[in-house]
Structure 1
Amino acid sequence: MAEQYSSFDRRGWRWFLQRVTAAFLIVVLAFHFMLLHFVNHAYEITLAGSSLRMSQVGYFATMILFLITATFHGVNGVYNALVNQGLDGTQKKVVAGVLVVASAALIVQGVRLALAMTGMS
């Protein structure tokens, strides 16, 4: 039987964080679907309602954590998939740098949007 290769080291922090963020994302996505698809239906969602929800500290903090964990989870998964496909050396460093910069830009823009929705921008 062929041996399976994975760039994830089960003793490493990235492997652990990938699992923790997955669990967190499952819970937050369930919350999201329950609140915005079952309690309130899509046609009932308005910008004013979204702003009102974002003005609540708990909701705001949850959405910021959601943004950060989803970004880490996705980027870490893409990076490890590329490493598993044989990315190494200089290309690996360049891809890691690009992904870090893209992640930072995504998080900064997401926080700016969240703050604008609360009226705190």
Structure 2
Amino acid sequence: MAERYTSFEPGGRRWLWQRLTAAFLVIVLAFHFFLLHFLNHADEVTFALSQARMQQLTYFSLMILFLITATFHGVNGVYNALVNSGLSGSRKTAVKAILGVGSLLVIIQGVRTALAWSGGVPI
């Protein structure tokens, strides 16, 4: 029988957060598809309408939360895949630092873009 191997610690929080973020992402993606592919058709989606959506605090907040959640979920998954592949020691530490800095840069740029798109802080 094959031995189950995972870099997640038994009872660890990273395993739980990976599952919770996956569930959240499925819900937000369903909302996205409903709003932008069923409620509005592709030819009806314009920059002005997208900017108007981003000016609503609820939508803006959801998109920021989506950005943070997707970044964590993706980076955590990549990190654990690398650890499962045998990454260890100083390389593991370096990869963790690089992924952490990269995540922060992605989130900062995403928030800057969302703020610019919304015309500033949404009301």
Q: What range is the shorter-chain TM-score in?
A: over 0.9
Q: Distance in 2 between matches of 1:10 and 1:68?
A: 25
Which residue of the partner structure matches residue 3 of structure 2?
Answer: 3
Query: Match for 1:84: what amino acid?
Result: N
Cα drift, residue 10 of structure 1: 3.5
1:4 is displaced (CA, Å) by 1.5
2:106 and 2:61 map into 1 onto residues whose CA distance is 17
Task: Name the Cα RMSD after superposition.
Answer: 0.9
Q: Is the 8 A contact 1:75 1:103 kept in 2?
A: yes
Separation of aligned partners in 2, 1:36 and 1:21: 22
Is 2:90 the counterpart of 1:90? yes
Query: What letter matches 1:45 in structure 2?
Result: V
Unaligned runs of 5+ in 1: none
Question: Aligned letter for 1:115?
Answer: L
Taking only the aligned residue pairs, the percentage that are identical comes to: 64
Q: Describe the shift of the 1:86–1:57 C-alpha distance in structure 2 as closer, same or farther (beyond 3 A).
A: same
Aligned mates of 2:15, 2:9 — CA distance in 1 = 6
Partner of 1:15: 15
1:90 Cα deviation from its structure 2 partner? 0.4
Mapped contact 1:5–1:84 kept (Cα < 8 A): yes
1:69 aligns with 2:69: yes
How far the C-alpha of 1:44 sits from its partner, in A, is 1.5
Instruction: Name segments (4+ residues, structure 1) moved above 6 Å.
Output: none
* 1:1-121 aligned within 5 A: 1-120=1-120
1:9 counterpart SS class? coil
TM-score under structure 1 normalisation? Answer: 0.97
The whole-number CA distance in structure 2 between the counterparts of 1:62 and 1:42 is: 21
Structure 2 unaligned segments of length 5 or more: list them.
Answer: none
> Do the aligned partners of 1:10 and 1:16 also contact (CA within 8 Å) in 2?
no
Shift of 1:15: 0.7
Task: State the Cα distance separating 1:59 from its structure 2 match.
Answer: 0.2
The structural deviation recorded for 1:48 is 0.6
Return the letter of the residue paired with 2:37: H
